Amino acid sequence: MEDTISQLTGPEKAVLFLLSLEESVAGPIVGELDVADLKKLRAVASTMREVSADALDRTFAEFVQRSGQAVAVPRGGLPYLRRLAAGTHGEPTAYEVFEDGGTSSPLARLEAAPPEAIASQLENETPQLIGAVLARLDPSTAAAVLMALPPEREVEVLGRLGRLQELPAAVLQDVARAVADELPAADAETLISIDGVTKAADILKAVGRDPASELLAQLEEAEPDLARDMRMAMFQFEELQRLDPRSMRTLLREMPTDRLTIALKGADPEVMEAVFSGLSERASNLIRDDLEVLGKVRKAEIEAAQQEVVQIALRLEADGAIDLGRGDDD
């Protein structure tokens, strides 16, 4: 960057100003900026390397009172600005702006890259790190990458992904840099929250029913509890409305009426109608009457009853007895 005033843009001046302040002073200033402004600052901070002390003094004379020597952009540049944004705007907004906010971000470039190319670059990484990268991609992209990995690694990666809860941002940064050349720097102490089971379930749904069933069957041999959790995350109680009447009748024959009644307490009207479509008019009326007089039921008990329904549905699907309406395009 040239050190003449005329060649410094407004965002460049703003970044130099913010990065020259103490964090306690800069924080409230960043808090006044909107997302569009933060994105402008992010774009500048990612390219700035060094500014002469003379340029700082002349350009920011109105708010920088002293500058003793040629200095690099202070406080780590982009990581510092990201930390300020996270502290004032929250981690989700900071993540959007500094990691997923632009088409030039490494993760955005990965989304557009051929899955085979991504898998080729990732296949020598540890299963945990591959899972972490997949967790940050769109499920459809992650599914394609997973299926492009060597077959012997797919289940291992899926298992590690399912166990992820958080990962140091700096670790993910190193892997992403190797895959996409550059990743917006993150504070090494920042932890990225990851719901590994949900992410793995989303990826399995994007993979398609048959490959997902095969992967889960293999995972179940080594980690049955984890495989069960993933199956549960792939199908929620509210999705019962997707069952056809025949499948619903088969499911309801396996479910005790008293537990079904509790599971339907407070359920969405669409779910209730789907369930009643699989019952006789007499049975439907009995459950409706029971719901009216049921009274207050603890949320935990309702959720437990709903999980019983889901578990039965998943067992029947695995046995080929019912269709849960999850085609390969889901």
Mean of the pLDDT values across residues 50-77? 52
Is residue 147 very low, low, confident or very high in pLDDT (cuts 50, 70, 90)? very high
Q: Which are the contacts of 71, defined by CB distance < 8 A and separation ≥ 6?
A: 50, 51, 53, 56
Q: What does the radius of gyration of the chain's CA atoms come to, in whole angstroms?
A: 27
What would the pLDDT profile of 165-187 be if each residue is shown by its tens digit? 876 666 666 666 667 653 333 44
Q: Which are the contacts of 75, defined by CB distance < 8 A and separation ≥ 6?
A: 19, 23
Return the SS3 of 88.
helix
pLDDT at 224 over 50: yes
pLDDT at 12 over 80: no
pLDDT for 156: 92
Task: Specify which residues 191 forms β-bridges with.
Answer: 168
pLDDT at 10 over 60: yes
Domains assigned to the chain: 5-93 (1.10.220), 106-209 (1.10.220.30), 235-330 (1.10.220.30)
Share of the chain above pLDDT 90, in %: 10
By the 8 A CB rule, do 196 and 162 touch? yes
Helix axis angle for 196-207 and 224-234, nearest 10°, is: 70
Q: What amino acid occupies position 254?
A: E
Question: How crowded is residue 117: how many other Cβ atoms within 10 Å of its Cβ?
Answer: 13
By the 8 A CB rule, do 2 and 59 touch? no
Task: Specify which residues 51 forms β-bridges with.
Answer: 71
Dump strand ranges (E) for the chain.
50-51, 71-72, 166-168, 191-193
Q: Which run of H or of E encompasses 12? A: helix 10-19
pLDDT at 127 over 60: yes
pLDDT at 158 over 90: yes
What would the pLDDT profile of 44-55 be if each residue is shown by its tens digit? 776 665 666 665
Helices (H) and strands (E) in the chain, counts: 20, 4
